[in-house]
Structure 1
Amino acid sequence: MYERKIIPNLNCGLDLVGEVLYGKWKIRLLWFINEGHIRPSELQRKIPDASRRVLNIQLKELEEHELISKKIYPVVPPKVEYSLTEFGKSLIPVIDTLGRWGDENGEQLRTVIAKRFTP
């Protein structure tokens, strides 16, 4: 597994947020868990482009950052469910605002992003 060699800068609020939310799928995972998609298989269906391994790594990081909690039921086969912590729930309004901003500026964002992929 990847081991970080450089200690992150934790002096600025934006750096702190970036450290906790950096990862392609983390914001979507938080959003979907908030919507009630709590089983790993449900999350995989909601984000089919992500590999199960990457989702598991990012779920583990969200758990380590105390944004989600994981409950393992003692049954065979094992059953796992995720839920937002109170700390994680406090991020939902921020994620909602970012999503609305993206929707409102979608045309311009698609244009500037597409430029990167046009020769």
Structure 2
Amino acid sequence: MPIYEYEPIDWDCPMCENRVAVIQGINEEALKMCPQCGMEVRRVISKVSIQIKKPSGAGKAAEKGFTTWKKVGQGEYEKVDGPGVDAIIASEQDKKAVAEEKAAPKKIVDLDKP
């Protein structure tokens, strides 16, 4: 359901901070009175939020030329769909290099020091 914003017609309202948001159905009539303070209000144009849901997944990625892989083990990936290679398997040397990089102390940058 959309969220509509209303503002007072003639006066500034300290109670509503001059705007109130109300969730209403598209077919419902616009409010004439503020639900918080009772002042006369009018609907105003405000920001719009639109959600478009598109199907996604390996099949859609493949249609656009991308390859999708699924992780099957430490450093091993299997192709799900797409034009790429059937599998990616890291060598023991690559696995060791990644493990060493993760174990290395992280660099700390102190922005307060000149």
- Bigger helix share: 1
Same fold flag (TM > 0.5)? no
TM-score using structure 1 length: 0.21
Looking at both structures, which has the greater relative contact order when contacts are Cα pairs under 8 Å and sequence separation is at least 6?
Answer: 1
Q: Comparing both structures, which one devotes a greater share of its residues to strand?
A: 2
- After TM superposition, the score normalised by the length of structure 2 is 0.22
